[in-house]
Amino acid sequence: MNLLAMFDQDLVASVLRSLIPILLAALGGMICERVGIFNIGLEGILLIGTFTGVAVSYGTHSWILGSLAAMVAGMLFSMILGYGAVYRKGDPIVLAVAMNILAVGMTSFLLLAIFHVQGVFKDPKIDGIPTWRIPGLADIPGIGPLFSLTPIGYLALLLVPVLWVVLFRTPVGLRLRGVGERPLAAATLGVNPQRYQLLAVLASGALAGLGGAQLALGNVVQFTENMSAGRGWIAVVVVMLARAHPVGVLGAALLFGFADAIGFRLQSFGLPQQLTDAGPYIVTLVVLILMSRRFKQTRAAQLA
């Protein structure tokens, strides 16, 4: 097999396809991390987003309404964590683990109850998200696929610089970071930490819900039980690797998009799916190990 043949235009497109949902979820997780809430419920929120997106798009024949509904559903679902962790002092890990299981149960249950199918729901009435090709730019060899994304794809990529500006160059971002780093100081200065924490969780719900819409209406046009398939967990790792920095989040998410895409490629060269599926997780672990010095530093800083 010719290894070089793997690196072509299609690979770039395929990387972007894997990247967008993870990126959106990870940006959400990053905001939560900044206010000091460890959000490992992204996996469940993604799944809720996929189901709602497909269900509403099927009902209304509109991908716009489907995506908006996915966003709203993600926000509502993330309230479980937001309300519980911020106002009831529940353990965020416990809440998020339960959320992830609840999401699998709810979506599978409703799939059978509403659409009377099990496993996969596919219907021509589901309106998929269109690809917006930017004429001219989309024909540039190499980076062409970057200019033929879904609207959600463009939004996700734009959000990286936008969130960077918001976090580091605006008063809102300063308060957000303050709440996470020195909640006491923030409260003394008149910032209500709880409100910021709740808003951050809601934002992560909206972003991960949107990621779900991209997954189920953009990448494919169908709902499959448990179709988030660990992407939310990878997003959690992305946030940690990037130490909650927007640019780092993009870089780490790219890495996993790349691992995912390479896995698909290797399948077409005859490697069994079971082995290539494990790829992204192994890459994740290896990167975690390679970056371990960073964790040690962070830990030492926390203890100091």
Partner 1 sequence: MTQAVNDRPGSGVLPRVGRWLAGPIPVSVVLALVVGAVFMLVAGVDPISGYRAMVSGSFGTGMGIANTLGRAIPIIGIGIGIALAFRAGIINLGTEGQAVLGALAGGFVAVYMPGPGPLVALCAMVTGVLAGAAWGLLAALLQNSLGVPILLATLLLNYPARYFSSWVIRFQLKDPSTDLVASKQIDPGVQLTALVPAGPAAEAVRRTFGPMSPVTMILTQVNWSLVIVAVLVIGAIFVNRRTRYGFEAGLAGQNPEFTRYGGVKPGPLVLRTMALSGGIAGLIGVLIVIGAPNTRMIEGHIVQTNYAWTALLVTLLALYRPLGVAIAGLFFGAIIVGSEAMGRDLGLSPQIAAVIQALVIILLAYRVALPRFRRKRQVAASEDPPEPEPQRPAAPAAVAAPAASAPTAETTETGGER
Report if residue 61 touches partner 1, rule: CB under 8 A.
no
Read off the amino acid at residue 249: V
Report if residue 158 touches partner 1, rule: CB under 8 A.
no
Triad 94, 95, 97: Cα angle to 5°: 65
Report if residue 281 touches partner 1, rule: CB under 8 A.
yes
Q: How far apart (Å, rounded) are the C-alpha atoms in residues 162 and 246?
A: 9
> 231, 261, 235, 252: which is closest to 294 by C-alpha?
252
108, 148, 222, 267: which one binds partner 1 (CB under 8 A): 108
Nearest-approach distance from CB 45 to partner 1, in angstroms: 14
Whose Cβ is closer to partner 1: residue 1's or residue 114's?
A: 114
Whose Cβ is closer to partner 1: residue 13's or residue 187's?
A: 187
Whose Cβ is closer to partner 1: residue 7's or residue 109's?
A: 109
**Residues touching partner 1: how many (CB under 8 A)?**
68
> 150, 156, 131: which is closest to 24 by C-alpha?
156
Report if residue 85 touches partner 1, rule: CB under 8 A.
yes
Nearest-approach distance from CB 156 to partner 1, in angstroms: 23
21, 36, 178, 209: which one binds partner 1 (CB under 8 A): 36
Nearest-approach distance from CB 207 to partner 1, in angstroms: 21
Helices 246-268/279-290 angle, 10° precision: 140
Stretch touching partner 1 by CB under 8 A, among 34-42, 134-142, 146-154, 207-215: 34-42
Read off the amino acid at residue 246: P
CA dist list (Å): 159 to 111, 130, 142, 166, 175: 32, 20, 23, 10, 19
**Where do we find the tokens 């469940």?**
44
Nearest-approach distance from CB 18 to partner 1, in angstroms: 15
Q: How far apart (Å, rounded) are the C-alpha atoms in residues 52 and 303?
A: 42
The pair of structure tokens assigned to 97 is 């683990």
Nearest-approach distance from CB 292 to partner 1, in angstroms: 4
Nearest-approach distance from CB 99 to partner 1, in angstroms: 7
Exposed, middle or buried by CB within 10 Å (0-12, 13-18, 19+), for 229? middle
Read off the amino acid at residue 95: L
Whose Cβ is closer to partner 1: residue 16's or residue 40's?
A: 40
Stretch touching partner 1 by CB under 8 A, among 69-77, 132-140, 152-160, 272-280: 272-280
Nearest-approach distance from CB 2 to partner 1, in angstroms: 25
3-state class (DSSP) for residue 198:
helix
Q: Are 57 and 217 in contact (CB under 8 A)?
A: yes
**Where in 188-247 is the site for partner 1 (CB under 8 A)?**
188, 192-195, 197, 230, 233, 236-237, 240
